[in-house]
Amino acid sequence: MKHLPINPQLYITNRQRFTKEMKPKSIAIFNSNDEVLSNGDALYPFVQNTELYWLTGIEQEDTMLILFPDSPDEKYREVLVLVRPNEQKEKWDGKRLRENEAKEISGVKTVIWLDTLDAVLQPWTHFADRIYLNTNENDRKSVWVETRDYSFAKLMRNRYPLHEYERAAKIFKRLRAIKTPEEIEVIKQAISITEKAFRRLLGFIHAGVMEFEIEAAIIQEFFCNRSSGPAYGSIVAGGDRARTLHYVSNNAECKDGELILMDFGARYGNYSADLTRTVPVNGKFTQRQKEVYNACLNLHNFAKSILKPGISIVDYTEKVGDEANQLFIKLGLLTEADVKNEDKENRAYRKYLYHGISHHLGIDVHDLGTRVEPIEPGMVFTVEPGIYIEEEQMGIRIENNFWITENGNIDLMKNIPITAEEIEELMKRSS
């Protein structure tokens, strides 16, 4: 890992939160992700299962966690399972965690080796009436590949067909949406690194620079500040390419007079930041570019003003849509008649803003959480309205990250330049 040690209380607290949600006489078992072959004997870089990481802080492959709060033997109420270090394998692939190191990272007091698990898992399971297993229940993604979680669920059901089974994902969807103060501190570190990268870019961008050169500067700044790298594929889109929401080719030249949209975020301690800024390639907005930019910023500020406990993301999006309609009329993009006669299933503003305004943020960039239930204190959201005008070959998006409080929210990116005037001044000063 590149990041500094994370306070293990983060993971201890998360395990306590999970076990409080478990039914009596239950055991919960969590697996690491699979190692995936790229070709021959080469592997893709390993990425840990986010639920297992949320519970343990362990980033190593072939790891398991067993939670058994009603175990008659106290030392087996939390058990971390690791692959046994192998001297020959370590010569090829590097050092694996020792028992004391894993305890220090996770705060779990009992560690056993994976090759001893079968002998002890059976008696533990016999003491339990029900078993919690984990699967991917992200509403936005169907799962067609049988990952380790699914193959392990099959194995357990074959071995223990008379137990009751519970879905751990239902608990995670509630708990992971509410961040603890310890989690917020790690997210702030990711945001701080992201801010450094953006400020660097304001002195780096110029006519003729390639999008991939900007991406390279982002990644270098991340690595120089102990980030493990981008939290997602960085979007660096100049000119009309900014209208493509998930543009990741990043292979074109940035030209004088164009805007460049940059959507990127650092990953630190496996938690994500998610920033979007749109800046002029030559350091100076045209009058029309500034007009549209300021409209987008006004929409951003309106959205953050209503992002409070009690409103659902669905209702919040509708209210932002109402405001977008009026702003787009002022920009000359829509008419009063367009708004009056709009299709409620495909509202008028959707021609120029065709994505959601906010999503949960945490370990996953699109983190777990509901869209239909009321927002609660402790949640973290992006606020990211955009305006995309095909006729003018222009795309603008502005995005910050917000921590929901009892009465409103805290802008975790408040120190990152956001107004057109700030951006122009910093680009001028750096040129």
* 210: helix, strand or coil: strand
> Which residues partner with 28 through β-bridges?
67, 132
Q: What pLDDT does residue 143 have?
A: 65
Homologous superfamily of 181-430 = Creatinase/methionine aminopeptidase superfamily (3.90.230.10)
The predicted-structure confidence for 242-253, as pLDDT tens digits, reads as follows 999 999 999 999
Nearest partner of 35 among 26, 25, 47, 24, judged by Cα: 47
Q: How far is residue 79 from each of residues 112, 129, 211, measured CA to CA in Å?
A: 7, 18, 47
| 323, pLDDT greater than 80 | yes
Phi, psi of 129 (to 5 degrees): -95, -25
Average pLDDT of the residues in 342-358: 97
Q: Which residues pair with 261 in a beta bridge?
A: 237, 278
- Work out the pLDDT band at 40, boundaries 50, 70, 90: confident
- Helical H runs in 307-414? 313-330, 336-340
Q: What is the average pLDDT score of the chain?
A: 96
For residue 431, the model assigns a pLDDT of: 67
Provide mean pLDDT across the span 315-334.
98
Q: What is the pLDDT of residue 430?
A: 76
Q: What is the spatial distance between Cα 18 and Cα 56, in angstroms, rounded to a whole number?
A: 12
CATH 3.90.230.10 residue ranges for the chain:
181-430
What is the pLDDT at residue 92?
Answer: 87
Spatial CA neighbour of 417 closest among 428, 426, 408, 405: 426
Six-digit token string for 375: 């927002």
**Is this model's pTM higher than 0.75 or not?**
yes
| Highest CATH level, class, for 9-175 | alpha beta
- The model's confidence at residue 4, banded by pLDDT at 50, 70 and 90, is very high
CA dihedral (81, 47, 221, 415) positive or negative? negative
Residue spans of beta strands (DSSP E) within 60-215: 64-67, 78-82, 110-113, 130-133, 164-167
pLDDT class of 146 with cuts at 50, 70, 90: confident
Mean pLDDT computed over 188-215: 98
Q: Tens digit of pLDDT for each residue in 83-126?
A: 999 988 888 889 999 999 999 999 999 999 999 999 999 999 99
100-123 in b/e form (b: 16+ CB < 10 A) is: eebbebbbbebbbeeeebeeebee
pLDDT of res. 142: 63
Decide: 67 and 119 in contact? Cβ < 8 Å.
no
Q: What is the pLDDT of residue 140?
A: 66
Q: Provide the pLDDT confidence category of residue 7 given band limits of 50, 70 and 90.
A: very high
